[in-house]
């Protein structure tokens, strides 16, 4: 999870192909666009199916099944009675109203608006509570790793992605069940002649599943503006500049020309070097305004309203900060360097840190340490991991295949070019200064209280899972359940996100990995050795857990979970001014939505680490992945609230036990076959 370097030998061909890439004509399509898709980017959007509203009966059944392992038998019986009353009574009324509202808004999904409202009305600070962190794999070639070199290539690749999206020539997002057979020119030719209104269904015949791309338009050029009660998203898709932050000082830097073309690599490199040079001659910002974006949202709304009452501040903030395509945070040596033997300080800093060099309200921020370690921190209300991961993968691939500058590339000087590199000099009064100091102290206190632990477990990896016919995700989720049970003697609400982007304006559905199957396995494993089932029986229980997990995953991905449905029914009651139904007051509903274990994974080799904060004060935020040579987890918790270290230690033990069962059952099966 923390190996930021890759072997050079893999990229010999890439190196040979890219040595002369900086000679590319900057106004040619090869430089200006990342892709030139034969199918328009939004080709499938019109024909995507709508997110289904599950049957009320099914959602009630699924809810009862999900809460059973975390309730006593008596609690579960009481919950059954309340659920049945809901199903036959007010639930039917709310379900009918939800269906009616959905029918009147066929352009979107039933969950889209209430999900936006949920994000934008929450008053909690963005760092740790919402903004996640993705750390990018390092460049294997030293000449492309220096901070300013990496930043230049990241900017260019980001702009190439963005311009391809805007020109409708970025490849449509399609999930291919068998990429070797369907991610081909032949598939695209067939899709091009399919009637556009039915293109998605034609793609299904190839076992290729188009995904919703409505979120992509907010990937860049979007800012969350704090408002009292509910924030707003403001878009500036045609901006030509980015926001650059260095030691808390802020700069607007033009990266597109007046016609919207990407400027040449030497010009972008020169402007970045100009910022670094200017900043070296200045003190760090005495009032780092970015810290305000860590505030509780109503506090920040009030501070911002006062701040923009000054016309100069209002103009600079709206024109240069809010409207920037994205934020580039160039951290200094004082912010820390990466240490592979102890990655926690760097990860904590990039996740939330001291925040003097951040603007968390931007839809997307690129963070680059002084030694070139790169991460993405993104504001979550506008979209989910599918869009960010596509962008993340594409720019990493682009930088590897054709970097446009190296450490030895000459640059076009930009000294004194204040029209294209603009230091942002705000007018700071005592009220703003005091607000920044308060926000800094509050964020520093929260970050200081954050504990972070990690595990790399090499005996379990992609190869192990494939060799033994295991589902990687279900095995890791099973290990989480075993780890928590043996460490803390109970089962708790557990959250795993599943994308519903196969549907128009789909967002996510919740998977509930704590099941009666995982509970049965954990109880069996934790029996004294002489009372444990055989290895073969335990392996059968693992397979049962995987089967249940796979079914839940399928249901969630197909819009047949229960969490979003119940959420929407509760939201409908609020919209209609109805009393809160008794179901939502039950201990069962409260307990399963109090996510002690909140988990998330992004399965790609370009992400070497991912992290986010706990979603409840005594919870665990678990970012995990399974790579070619290990399974890894980063666990966040709040000190004196939850025991992250104990969980990580127990997780290692859980992996040991599961792997031992798998090996023993495999050996026994081989011995039986040989006889």
409 φ/ψ sector (left φ>0, alpha ψ -120 to 50, else beta): beta
- Helical ranges in 104-222 per DSSP H: 112-121, 147-166, 179-182, 185-193, 199-204
CB-neighbour burial class of residue 269 (10 A; exposed 0-12, middle 13-18, buried 19+): buried
Q: Are strands 508-511 and 450-457 parallel, antiparallel or unpaired?
A: unpaired
Residues 7, 380, 468, 565: which is the catalytic one? 380
Tokens of 251: 């700069």
Q: What angle do CA 197, 203, 205 make, to 5 degrees?
A: 120
Task: Name the β-bridge partners of 136.
Answer: 607
What are phi and psi for residue 390, nearest 5 degrees? -60, -50
115 φ/ψ sector (left φ>0, alpha ψ -120 to 50, else beta): alpha
- Rounded to an integer, what distance in angstroms lies between the CA atom of residue 80 and that of residue 63? 10
Contact 580, 59 (CB under 8 A): no
Tokens of 75: 């609690």
Annotated catalytic residue 380 = yes
3-state helix, strand, coil in the chain (%, to 5): 50, 15, 35
- Residue 44 three-state SS: coil
Task: Name the β-bridge partners of 611.
Answer: 133
Number of helices followed by number of strands (H, E) in the chain: 23, 18
- Helical ranges in 128-281 per DSSP H: 147-166, 179-182, 185-193, 199-204, 265-280
Q: Where are the extended beta strands (E) located within 391-533? A: 421-423, 450-457, 494-499, 508-511
Tokens of 374: 């790169």
Task: Name the β-bridge partners of 453.
Answer: 635
Task: Name the β-bridge partners of 634.
Answer: 454, 623
- Alpha carbons within 13 angstroms on the beta-carbon side of residue 486 total 26
Q: What's the gap between Cα 366 and its chain centre?
A: 14
Instruction: Name the CA radius of gyration of the chain, rounded.
Output: 26
Task: Name the β-bridge partners of 241.
Answer: 254
Residues 514-541 as b/e (b if ≥16 CB within 10 A, e otherwise) read bbebbbebbeebeeeeeeeeebeebbeb
Sign, CA torsion 620/476/352/371: positive
Task: Give me the count of residues in the chain.
Answer: 675
- Rounded to an integer, what distance in angstroms lies between the CA atom of residue 112 and that of residue 108? 7
Contact 396, 137 (CB under 8 A): yes
Contact 350, 375 (CB under 8 A): yes
- Rounded to an integer, what distance in angstroms lies between the CA atom of residue 574 and that of residue 410? 61
Would you please indicate which residues are annotated as catalytic (active-site) residues?
A: 380
């Amino acid at each position: 999870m923390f190996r930021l370097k890759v072997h050079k030998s893999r990229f010999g061909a890439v190196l040979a192909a890219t040595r002369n890439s900086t000679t590319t004509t900057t106004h040619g399509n090869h430089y200006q666009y990342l892709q030139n898709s034969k199918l328009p980017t939004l080709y499938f959007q019109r024909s995507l199916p709508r997110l289904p509203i599950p049957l009320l009966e099914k959602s009630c059944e699924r809810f009862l099944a999900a809460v059973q392992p975390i309730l006593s038998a008596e609690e579960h019986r009481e919950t059954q009675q309340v659920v049945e009353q809901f199903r036959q009574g007010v639930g039917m009324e709310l379900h009918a109203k939800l269906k009616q509202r959905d029918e009147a808004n066929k352009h979107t999904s039933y969950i889209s608006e209430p999900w936006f409202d949920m994000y934008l009305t929450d008053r909690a600070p963005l760092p740790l509570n919402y903004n996640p962190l993705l750390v990018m794999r390092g460049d294997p070639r030293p000449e492309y790793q220096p901070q300013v070199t990496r930043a230049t290539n990241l900017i260019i690749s980001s702009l190439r992605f963005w311009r391809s999206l805007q020109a409708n020539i970025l490849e449509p997002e399609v999930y291919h069940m068998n990429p070797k057979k369907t991610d081909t020119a032949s598939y695209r030719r067939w899709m091009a002649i399919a009637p556009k209104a039915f293109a998605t269904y034609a793609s299904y015949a190839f076992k290729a599943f188009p995904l919703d791309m409505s979120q992509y338009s907010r990937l860049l050029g979007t800012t969350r503006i704090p408002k009292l009660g509910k924030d707003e998203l403001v878009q500036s898709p045609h901006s030509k500049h980015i926001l650059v932050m260095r030691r808390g000082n802020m700069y607007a830097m033009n990266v597109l020309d007046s016609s919207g073309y990407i400027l040449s690599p030497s010009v972008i490199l020169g402007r970045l070097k100009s910022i670094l040079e200017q900043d070296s001659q200045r003190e760090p910002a005495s009032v780092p305004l970015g810290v305000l974006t860590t505030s509780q949202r109503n506090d920040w709304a009030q501070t911002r309203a006062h701040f923009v009452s000054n016309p100069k501040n209002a103009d600079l903030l709206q024109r240069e900060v809010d409207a920037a395509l994205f934020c580039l945070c160039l951290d200094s040596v004082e912010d820390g360097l990466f240490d592979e033997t102890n990655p926690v300080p760097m990860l904590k800093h990039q996740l939330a840190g001291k925040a003097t060099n951040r603007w968390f309200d931007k839809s997307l921020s690129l963070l680059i340490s002084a030694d070139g370690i790169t991460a993405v921190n993104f504001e979550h209300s506008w979209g989910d991991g599918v869009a960010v991961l596509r962008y993340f993968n594409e720019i990493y691939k682009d930088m590897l295949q054709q970097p446009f500058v190296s450490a030895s590339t000459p640059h076009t000087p930009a000294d004194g070019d204040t029209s294209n590199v603009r230091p942002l000099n705000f007018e700071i009064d005592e009220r703003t200064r005091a607000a920044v100091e308060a926000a800094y102290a509050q964020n520093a206190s929260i970050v200081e209280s954050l504990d972070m632990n990690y595990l790399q477990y090499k005996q379990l990896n992609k190869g192990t899972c494939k060799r033994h016919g295991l589902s990687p995700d279900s095995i890791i989720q099973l290990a989480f359940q075993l780890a928590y049970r043996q460490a803390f003697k109970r089962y708790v609400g557990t959250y795993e996100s599943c994308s519903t982007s196969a549907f128009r304006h789909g967002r996510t559905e919740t998977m509930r990995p704590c099941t009666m199957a995982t509970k049965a396995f954990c109880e069996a494993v934790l029996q004294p050795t002489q009372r444990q089932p055989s290895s073969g029986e335990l392996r059968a229980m693992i397979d049962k857990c995987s089967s249940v997990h796979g079914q839940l995953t399928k249901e969630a991905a197909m819009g047949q979970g229960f969490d979003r449905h119940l959420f929407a029914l509760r939201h409908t009651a609020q919209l209609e001014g109805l009393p809160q139904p008794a179901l939502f007051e039950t201990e069962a509903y409260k307990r399963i939505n109090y996510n002690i274990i909140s988990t998330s994974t992004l399965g790609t080799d370009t992400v070497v680490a991912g992290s986010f904060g706990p979603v409840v004060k005594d919870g665990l935020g678990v970012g995990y992945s399974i790579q070619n040579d290990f399974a890894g987890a980063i666990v966040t918790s709040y000190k004196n609230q939850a025991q992250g270290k104990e969980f990580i230690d127990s997780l290692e033990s859980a992996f040991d036990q599961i792997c031992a069962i798998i090996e023993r059952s495999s050996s026994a099966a081989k011995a039986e076959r040989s006889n």
